[in-house]
Structure 1
Amino acid sequence: MFALRDAIYLIELAFYAPIIPAILFILILHGNKHPYTWRPIVIPLIILSGLRIAAAGLGLAAMDPAKSNLLTTATLLDTIGLAPVLCLLIGLLIRANAPIYKGLPIWVFIPLHIITIAATVMTAYGGRDLYTSQDSQAQDLRLMRAGIILFIAVFVGIILLSVITMPKVRVKIYRTECTAVVCVLLCVPFMSVRLLFSAGSLFSGSQSVLNPMSEDETSVWLHFLMVIVMEYIVTLSTTAVALTAKKVVVLTVGRFESLKDEDEET
Structure 2
Amino acid sequence: MTTKDSRAAGLASLASLVADETRAACLLALLDGRAWTAGELARHAGVAASTLSEHLGKLVAGRLLTEERQGRHRYVRLAGTRVAQLVEDLAAQLDPAEAVRPRTLREASAGSAMARGRTCYDHLAGRLGIAVTDALTERGLLRQDTGFALTDAGLEWFGSAGIPLDRRGRRPLARACLDWTERRPHLAGAAGAALCLHALDTGWCVRIGSERAVQVTPSGERALSELLGIEAAELR
Pairwise TM-score range, normalised by the shorter structure: under 0.3
TM-score, reference length from structure 2? 0.26
Larger strand fraction of residues: 2
Larger Rg, first or second structure (1 or 2): 1
Query: TM-score, normalized by length of structure 1?
Result: 0.23
